Amino acid sequence: MCHPNLEVKEKVKEAAQALKKPSFDVQRVRQDFPMLQQKLNGKPFIYLDSAASGQKPQVLIDRLSDFYANEYGKPNEQHTDSKNATEMLEETRQKVADLIKAKDSKEIVFVRGCTEAINVVASGFARGLLQEGDEIITTLMEHHANIVPWQMAAQDAGAVVKVVPITATGELDLAALENMISERTKIISLVHSSQILGTINPIKKITAMAHRKGVPVLVDGAQTAPHMPLDMQDLDCDFYTFSAHKMSGPTGVGVLYGKADWLEKLPPHNGGGEMAETVEFEKTTYSSPPKKFEAGTTSFADIIALGAVIDYHNALGMQAIADYEQELLEYGLEKLNQIKGLHILGSAPEKEPVVSFTIDGVDVKDLEKYLNNEWGIAVKAGNLASQPLMKHLNVDKALRASYCYYNTKEEIDTMNQAIEAYLQTKA
Please tell me the distance from the alpha carbon of residue 93 to that of residue 90, in angstroms, as a whole number.
Answer: 5
Interface with ligand PMP (CB under 6 A), residue from 48, 114, 154, 310: 114
Interface with ligand PMP (CB under 6 A), residue from 54, 57, 113, 249: 113
Interface with ligand PMP (CB under 6 A), residue from 85, 111, 206, 222: 222
Q: Applying CB under 6 A, does 380 fall inside the site for ligand PMP?
A: no
Question: Vertex 136, ends 139 and 151: CA angle to 5°?
Answer: 80
274 neighbors 291 (Cβ within 8 angstroms): yes
Q: Applying CB under 6 A, does 247 fall inside the site for ligand PMP?
A: no
Stretch that binds ligand PMP, among 17-25, 32-40, 110-118, 410-418 (CB under 6 A): 110-118
Specify the residue, 64 or 222, whose C-beta has the smaller distance to ligand PMP: 222
Interface with ligand PMP (CB under 6 A), residue from 185, 243, 299, 358: 243
Q: Please, what is the minimum distance in Å from the beta carbon of residue 241 to ligand PMP? A: 8
Number of residues that bind ligand PMP (CB under 6 A): 13
CB within 8 A of 73, min separation 6: which ones? 79, 80, 81, 82, 83, 84, 85
What secondary structure letter does DSSP report for 267?
Answer: P
User: x/- binding map, residues 136-175, to ligand PMP, per CB under 6 A?
Assistant: -------x-xx-----------------------------
Q: Applying CB under 6 A, does 223 fall inside the site for ligand PMP?
A: yes
Please tell me the distance from the alpha carbon of residue 330 to that of residue 393, in angstroms, as a whole number.
Answer: 23
Stretch that binds ligand PMP, among 111-119, 261-269, 343-351, 368-376 (CB under 6 A): 111-119
Nearest to 216 by CA among 159, 258, 172: 258
Specify the residue, 192 or 259, whose C-beta has the smaller distance to ligand PMP: 192
Q: Please, what is the minimum distance in Å from the beta carbon of residue 298 to ligand PMP? A: 15
Q: Applying CB under 6 A, does 404 fall inside the site for ligand PMP?
A: no
Specify the residue, 29 or 117, whose C-beta has the smaller distance to ligand PMP: 117
Specify the residue, 254 or 419, whose C-beta has the smaller distance to ligand PMP: 254
3-state secondary structure (DSSP) of residue 191: strand
Specify the residue, 115 or 358, whose C-beta has the smaller distance to ligand PMP: 115
Farthest CA pair distance, the chain: 87
Measure CA 389 to chain center.
18
User: Residue 352 is which amino acid?
Assistant: E
46-78 in b/e form (b: 16+ CB < 10 A) is bbbbbbbebbbbebbeebbeebeeeeebebbee
Please tell me the distance from the alpha carbon of residue 321 to that of residue 335, in angstroms, as a whole number.
Answer: 21
Q: Please, what is the minimum distance in Å from the beta carbon of residue 182 to ligand PMP? A: 26
Q: Please, what is the minimum distance in Å from the beta carbon of residue 93 to ligand PMP? A: 19
Interface with ligand PMP (CB under 6 A), residue from 50, 55, 115, 138: 115
Residue 69 CA: distances (Å) to CA of 58, 249, 329? 16, 19, 40
Q: What is the DSSP string of 389-415?
A: HHHHHT-S-EEEEE--TT--HHHHHHH
Q: Applying CB under 6 A, does 378 fall inside the site for ligand PMP?
A: no
Q: What is the DSSP string of 339-370?
A: STTEEES---SSB-SEEEEEETT--HHHHHHH
Specify the residue, 220 or 411, whose C-beta has the smaller distance to ligand PMP: 220
Stretch that binds ligand PMP, among 98-106, 172-180, 220-228, 266-274 (CB under 6 A): 220-228
Stretch that binds ligand PMP, among 18-26, 205-213, 218-226, 270-278 (CB under 6 A): 218-226
Backbone angles phi, psi at 286, to 5 degrees: -95, 155
Specify the residue, 29 or 196, whose C-beta has the smaller distance to ligand PMP: 196
Q: Applying CB under 6 A, does 299 fall inside the site for ligand PMP?
A: no
130 neighbors 107 (Cβ within 8 angstroms): no
CB within 8 A of 153, min separation 6: which ones? 122, 123, 125, 126, 130, 136, 159
**Residue list 248-277, contact with ligand PMP (CB under 6 A):** none
What secondary structure letter does DSSP report for 385?
Answer: T
Specify the residue, 86 or 383, whose C-beta has the smaller distance to ligand PMP: 383
Please tell me the distance from the alpha carbon of residue 341 to that of residue 3, in angstroms, as a whole number.
Answer: 58
Specify the residue, 107 or 352, whose C-beta has the smaller distance to ligand PMP: 352
Q: Which residues bind ligand PMP (CB under 6 A)?
A: 113-115, 143, 145-146, 191, 195, 220, 222-223, 243, 385
